[in-house]
Structure formats: structure tokens, C-alpha cells
């Protein structure tokens, strides 16, 4: 039968295409510890869930003898599938085909799947592994990048966008990941930079390796470009899958609810926080003592560790956590931690995820470098993000809430819906030492025993003001609760705010201190 | 100071991990100090006697000689950087004391190139 022959023809054509850049190129890819683009998609998506589009797309470039060259699928694979049953649109650049370089049709395939994701309101995952612009295609290649950036921006806050850097991602190409919600990197595989080591060497005479310039660690620890760091591609895919379970398909929905579970007993909330507010503890243990199954999924674990952000579930529902980390830099707010927190707050707000804030903040980090790095502008982002957020906002003041840090960390004044404080809370304009030094300066200086007087005055101040009751007397704190009551109060409040509605004044958009 | 570590923090902290002290508003906090903070460069006052390269590049031409009188704003040197010729100007009135580089030298950002007295 004629149709059988045609089917056979289709199968042969497919097979040829599925080989991408050919066996030799695939071997090279494997030698670098990398999977091929299709293998990556298969590893990430549910078994047999992937359907590929545009397998037969060919480039139209004619200059520089390009007409003679065949580039299978034009170096990028697009399609859709599911992760734990949730639909996702996906593209993966194929480094085995012309180094995954981006030409006109390559970019058209990407924008096609982006349009699809936005139209269908499903998450978009982009796997980046590309040498950059396809130079032979000139300005067409630049146009392609621009079309991608535009769509990243328009889709921002509507559908979740995830970027996975599994190879080089250099020059203009880096701006697509930078515009998306979450960037995943893998040690020794991911490389991101605007200008590479060679250019830096020629122009500036500075020598640096690709890994030191823009490797996975650099972007996870120093630049804050990456949100998740993994040692292998496999670990990276597990992280993506886990993230997908915490977030909704789009901004019109809530994340899928899970079976509720109690926190593990080993996380005993009463035994984590030392009484002395100058002593450290790991605030992640407090989070684990509150969330379902003690399962806390941290975001940006290695960057600005003095603030902790991430997802957990309360009674089966996804909740975002923002917490000062006394174990790192005393939990101060500074340029990087403000940036980190503000963006996460906005993410949660965009995707209907309630925010729980755990406060133990001594204030802002002093220093010329901080002031000159713009701690005013960056610090303001936190105030902006909390004030603007209309999702349920719950705050627990664990110990210190001093000065500007108190206001910034989801205080009543920024319209937190529920503010609870532990009996150990110290809500004050500044720490007792500093406050006593200012208020009782004259008395201390003129005293015969300045040190003794200072100690006395500090103790006096502590007694009078370093507690939750002054704020509670003003109604700035809704309830002073025992640590062991925290989960119950938070669950109750989350239930109560299920239908929270906020009317904001109409505007085109605000002007966050970017 | 002896830290009363709590049960769980003990698990997180490496054995015998030494913590630093951070002073915030005269309160001394025991905590981990980030390497970024520990290695931060102390702020230095700008010294108008020192003419620094504001950008990394290659010395294209030196327009003055030691001992020559210069006025604030006079061009002292041409620096080739980012495919552009950049003029380096004197930050004060005075006399060129020493020139620390020569034509063709590659300089990094913030390097002292000329001293004026």
C-alpha cells in the first residue's frame, strides 16, 4: 500500500533528524559530561509525554556558503510534555548542530514555543546550550534574540519561566535567562558571561578561566544570576521537577495542593532559638519545624546567605518563606540580601503564593561599600515588594526586629495581614546597646563609673523596650504566641486569608527602585 | 564567650567551627562572616596627587615630562581602551613628579600612572 511506503519514508526522515549533529558531535558532547538535547528533554519530562514540533525546520541562510549546509532542526528542539502530569512547553538548544548557534529559524522555533506557552498558560522551560549568535546569519540572529527577550518580558508574571543553563550561554544570549523566573546551573557545565575570557584578555589584559568568570558557582554565590546549583545534570532535573510541584501553571491559578503532613519531630521548635539575641542559630530549622513534613525547598541557597528564601507547604498548600538568617552575617539586611528577598516576594505575589516572613534582624550592614553600592536603593526594594504584594502576608517576629529592619520585614505598617511575635521578640528602634548609648549619653559620660552606668542603662532599656509588648500595646503585633503555637496560628491565618481581596489604585505600573 | 548552641544549630555548624563577631549598633553578634565582607577593600580617600587609570587599557602616548608644570584639567596621557582614545587629565595644579609607565604599557584599572606634586 502506498501509505505504508510514505510512513516508512517519514520514519526514515525522522530518524535522520533525530541524530542531530551526527554521531561524532554527539560523542564530543558526551565527552564533556553533557547529555544531548533530546536526552535532556526525556530525562526531565514524564516518560513518553514529549511531543516534538518543527522537527523538519531548515534554515534559509544563503550567505557564506550556508545554502550548502544542512542543520538538522536548525539546532534547537521544541515541543511540549508533562512533569508529574503538569503540562510544560520546552525548548532545548542542540549543541551538536552548529554549536547550538542561534539563527533566524532557530529563534523562530523558540519564539513559537514561547507563544504557545503563553497562549496556553503553561510553564516554559528553556534549556540553553549554545555558542551564541550564528555569525553567518548576521542581523537576523540579533533579531531572533530580541524577539525572545520581548516574549520573556511579556510572559513574565503570567506563566512560570525556567531557564536551564547546560553549556555555554554567552553574549546577548544571557539576557533570556536573566529575564526568566528561575535559572538552574550545573557545576563545570554551565557558563554564562557577556564577554568571554578571550575578549577580556585582549582588551583589558586580565586573565581568567571561563569557570572563574561565569561558571555555575560564580553565578550561584557571587552574581546571584542563578537560583539553583547542582553537581550533575540529573540533580538539576530533580530540582526542576521539585520546583514545578510548588508553583502554579500560571498567574490565574494556585499551586496544586498536596496531602498535608506534620513537621518531623526532630525539628523541635522550642529548642532551636537561643535566648541571647546575639547568639546564632539556623533559621532553616525553624522553617522546618513549621512546614509540612519539614520539607523546605530553598531558593538561592548559596547567595546572600544572610537571608533565606524558599518554598514549603502549610496544610498541603504552597507557601513562600522569607527569613533572616542569624547564622550568616548576623542576619543583617544588605544590598544582596535585599535584592534576593525582594525578587522572591514579587515572584510569590505574581503567582498567588502566600508569604510567611520570619523576623530576626539586627538592622542594616554598616560600611562605605554598602552605602556606595546603593543599599538605600536596594534596601527600598524590600519595602516596595512587601507593600505591593497582595497575597496573604504573615509575619512571625522571633527575636530581634530593630529599626528599619523591623519595618522592612513585612511589618504591620506595610500591611502584613497577621503579625505574631514570640515572647523572645525585641521590637525596638535599635538594639539595647546602641539605644542606651544615645539616650543616656550624658548620664554615662558624666558618671564616675561610665561602664557600670552604661551596663545599668542598657539593662534598663532591655527591660522596658526589648520585648514584644510595647508593639503589641499599639496593635502592631496581633498576638504574642508561644513558639509551639506557631504552626497552628499560621495555618489558621492562611485558612482565614484564602479569599483575601485587595483593591489597589489603578496605575499603568509602579516604579520599583530597580 | 561560650556559645550555648542549640540542638539543631549544632548539626548545621561544622565541628569546632569558629564564628566571627559582627558589630551592629554596638551590639556584638556571634555569627559566620561572609568572605565577601571579610575581604572587602577598605575605603581610601582620593589623593589628587596620584593620577590613576580610570579604565584598563594600553598607554598610547604620554603628553608630559617629569618636572613639567601642569594645571588641573590638562591632558597628561592617552590611554587606548575599549577601541577609544581616552584622555587622562590632571586632578590638580602642580608639577609632574614621576611618570610610572611608558608608551605601550598595559595598565589595569586604578593603577597609579603619574604622580603630581
Partner B contacted by A371 (CB < 8 A): no
Closest CA to A277 of A423, A97, A415: A423
B19 contact residues in A (CB cutoff 8 A):
280
Q: How far apart are alpha carbons A194 and A446 in whole angstroms?
A: 60
Percent of chain B with pLDDT strictly greater than 70: 86
| Residue B110 confidence class, pLDDT cut points 50, 70, 90 | confident
Report if residue B13 sits inside a domain: yes
Partner B contacted by A439 (CB < 8 A): no
Q: How far apart are alpha carbons B2 and A217 in whole angstroms?
A: 34
* pLDDT tens digits, A41-84: 999 999 999 999 999 998 888 888 888 888 889 999 999 999 99
* pLDDT tens digits, A76-127: 999 999 999 999 999 999 999 999 999 999 999 999 999 999 999 999 999 9
Q: Which residue spans of chain A are classified as CATH 3.90.226.10?
A: 2-245, 269-430+467-496
In CATH, what class is A2-245?
alpha beta
Against a cut of 0.90, is the pTM above it? Answer: yes
Q: Are residues B23 and B60 in the same domain?
A: no
Interface contact B43-A204, CB threshold 8 A: no
Burial class for A226, CB neighbours closer than 10 Å (0-12, 13-18, 19+): buried
* pLDDT tens digits, A25-44: 999 999 988 999 999 999 99
B34 contact residues in A (CB cutoff 8 A):
305-306, 328-329
Report if residue B43 sits inside a domain: no
**Contacts made by residues A243-248, CB under 8 angstroms, sequence distance 24+:** A243/A162, A243/A182, A243/A297, A243/A311, A244/A83, A244/A84, A244/A86, A244/A88, A244/A123, A245/A84, A246/A297, A246/A311, A246/A313, A246/A318, A247/A123, A247/A160, A247/A311, A247/A318, A247/A351, A247/A353, A248/A160, A248/A351, A248/A352, A248/A353
Buried/exposed B83-93: b ≥16 CB within 10 Å, e otherwise? eeebebebbee
Partner A contacted by B19 (CB < 8 A): yes
Domain CATH number, residue B64: 2.40.50.100
Q: What is the pLDDT of residue A182?
A: 98
B108 contact residues in A (CB cutoff 8 A):
204-206
**Residue A122: other Cβ atoms inside 10 A:** 18
pLDDT above 90 for A508:
yes
Q: What is the pLDDT of residue A162?
A: 98
CATH of region A269-430+467-496:
3.90.226.10
Interface contact A279-B4, CB threshold 8 A: yes
Report if residue B95 sits inside a domain: yes
Q: Are residues B32 and B54 in the same domain?
A: no
Q: Are residues B60 and B85 in the same domain?
A: yes
Q: Are residues B23 and B63 in the same domain?
A: no
Q: What is the pLDDT of residue B2?
A: 39
Partner A contacted by B25 (CB < 8 A): yes
B26: closest chain A residue by CA? A434
Q: What is the pLDDT of residue B12?
A: 64
Q: Are residues B58 and B14 in the same domain?
A: no
Q: Are residues B54 and B92 in the same domain?
A: yes
Report if residue B111 sits inside a domain: yes
Higher pLDDT, A137 or B4: A137
* pLDDT tens digits, A182-239: 999 999 999 999 999 988 888 777 889 999 999 999 999 999 999 999 999 999 999 9
| Residue B14 confidence class, pLDDT cut points 50, 70, 90 | low
Q: Are residues B110 and B75 in the same domain?
A: yes
A326 contact residues in B (CB cutoff 8 A):
29, 31
Average the pLDDT over A1-24 and give the result: 90
CB B21 within 8 A of CB B29: yes
Structurally, how many domains does chain B consist of? 2
Report if residue B75 sits inside a domain: yes
What domain range includes position B86?
50-116
Interface contact A433-B57, CB threshold 8 A: no
Which DSSP letter does residue B72 get?
A: T
Structure ipTM over 0.95, yes or no: no
A432: closest chain B residue by CA? B27
pLDDT above 90 for B10:
no
Amino acid at each position: 500500500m502506498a501509505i505504508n511506503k510514505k510512513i516508512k519514508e517519514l520514519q526514515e526522515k525522522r530518524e535522520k533528524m533525530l541524530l542531530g549533529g551526527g554521531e561524532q558531535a554527539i560523542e564530543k558532547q558526551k565527552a564533556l559530561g553533557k547529555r544531548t538535547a533530546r536526552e535532556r528533554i526525556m530525562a526531565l519530562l514524564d516518560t513518553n509525554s514529549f511531543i516534538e514540533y518543527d522537527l523538519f525546520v531548515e534554515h534559509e541562510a544563503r550567505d557564506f556558503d550556508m545554502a550548502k549546509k544542512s542543520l538538522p532542526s536548525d539546532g534547537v528542539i521544541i515541543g511540549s510534555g508533562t512533569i508529574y502530569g503538569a503540562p510544560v512547553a520546552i525548548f532545548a538548544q542542540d549543541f551538536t548542530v552548529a554549536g547550538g548557534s542561534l539563527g533566524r529559524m532557530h529563534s523562530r522555533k523558540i519564539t513559537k514555543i514561547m507563544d504557545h506557552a503563553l497562549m496556553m498558560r503553561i510553564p516554559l522551560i528553556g534549556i540553553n546550550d549554545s555558542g551564541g549568535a550564528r555569525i553567518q546569519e548576521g542581523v537576523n540572529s540579533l533579531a531572533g534574540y530580541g524577539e525572545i527577550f520581548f516574549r520573556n518580558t511579556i510572559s513574565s508574571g503570567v506563566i512560570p519561566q525556567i531557564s536551564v543553563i547546560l553549556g555555554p550561554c554567552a553574549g546577548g544570549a544571557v539576557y533570556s535567562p536573566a529575564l526568566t523566573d528561575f535559572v538552574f546551573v550545573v557545576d563545570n557545565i554551565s557558563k554564562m558571561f557577556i564577554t568571554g575570557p578571550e575578549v577580556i584578555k585582549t582588551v583589558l589584559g586580565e586573565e581568567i578561566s571561563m569557570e572563574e568568570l561565569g561558571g555555575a558557582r560564580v553565578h550561584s554565590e557571587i552574581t546571584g544570576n542563578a537560583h539553583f546549583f547542582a553537581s550533575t545534570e540529573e540533580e538539576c532535573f530533580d530540582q526542576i521537577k521539585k520546583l514545578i510541584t510548588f508553583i502554579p501553571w500560571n498567574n490565574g491559578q494556585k499551586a496544586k495542593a498536596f496531602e498535608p503532613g506534620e513537621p518531623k519531630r526532630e525539628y523541635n521548635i522550642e529548642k532551636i532559638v537561643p535566648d541571647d539575641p546575639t547568639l546564632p542559630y539556623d533559621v532553616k530549622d525553624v522553617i522546618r519545624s513549621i512546614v509540612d513534613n519539614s520539607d523546605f525547598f530553598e531558593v538561592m541557597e548559596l547567595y546572600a546567605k544572610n537571608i533565606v528564601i524558599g518554598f514549603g507547604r502549610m496544610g498541603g498548600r504552597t507557601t513562600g518563606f522569607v527569613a533572616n538568617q542569624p547564622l550568616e552575617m548576623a542576619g543583617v539586611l544588605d544590598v544582596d540580601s535585599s535584592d534576593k528577598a525582594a525578587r522572591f516576594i514579587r515572584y510569590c505575589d505574581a503567582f498567588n503564593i502566600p508569604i510567611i516572613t520570619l523576623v530576626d534582624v539586627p538592622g542594616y550592614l554598616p560600611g562605605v561599600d554598602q552605602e556606595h553600592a546603593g543599599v538605600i536603593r536596594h534596601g527600598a526594594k524590600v519595602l516596595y515588594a512587601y507593600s505591593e504584594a497582595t497575597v496573604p502576608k504573615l509575619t512571625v517576629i522571633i527575636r530581634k526586629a530593630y529599626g528599619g529592619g523591623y519595618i522592612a520585614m513585612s511589618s504591620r505598617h506595610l500591611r502584613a495581614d497577621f503579625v505574631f511575635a514570640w515572647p523572645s521578640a525585641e521590637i525596638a528602634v535599635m538594639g539595647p546597646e546602641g539605644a542606651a548609648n544615645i539616650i543616656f549619653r550624658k548620664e554615662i559620660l558624666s558618671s564616675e563609673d561610665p561602664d557600670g552606668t552604661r551596663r545599668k542603662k542598657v539593662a534598663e532599656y532591655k527591660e522596658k523596650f526589648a520585648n514584644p509588648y510595647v508593639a503589641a500595646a499599639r496593635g502592631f503585633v496581633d498576638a504574642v504566641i508561644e513558639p509551639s503555637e506557631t504552626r497552628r496560628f499560621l495555618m489558621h491565618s492562611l485558612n482565614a486569608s484564602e479569599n483575601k481581596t485587595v483593591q489597589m489604585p489603578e496605575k499603568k505600573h509602579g516604579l520599583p527602585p530597580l | 564567650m561560650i556559645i550555648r548552641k542549640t540542638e539543631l544549630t549544632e548539626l548545621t555548624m561544622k565541628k569546632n567551627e569558629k564564628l566571627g563577631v559582627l558589630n551592629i549598633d554596638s551590639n556584638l553578634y556571634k555569627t559566620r562572616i561572609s568572605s565577601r565582607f571579610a575581604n572587602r577593600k577598605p575605603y581610601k580617600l582620593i589623593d589628587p596627587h596620584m593620577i590613576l587609570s580610570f579604565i584598563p587599557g594600553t598607554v598610547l602616548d604620554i603628553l608630559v615630562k617629569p618636572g613639567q608644570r601642569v594645571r588641573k584639567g590638562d591632558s597628561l596621557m592617552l590611554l587606548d581602551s575599549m577601541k577609544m582614545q581616552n584622555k587622562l587629565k590632571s586632578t590638580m595644579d602642580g608639577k609632574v613628579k614621576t611618570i610610572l609607565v611608558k608608551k605601550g604599557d598595559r595598565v589595569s584599572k586604578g593603577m597609579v600612572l603619574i604622580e603630581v606634586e
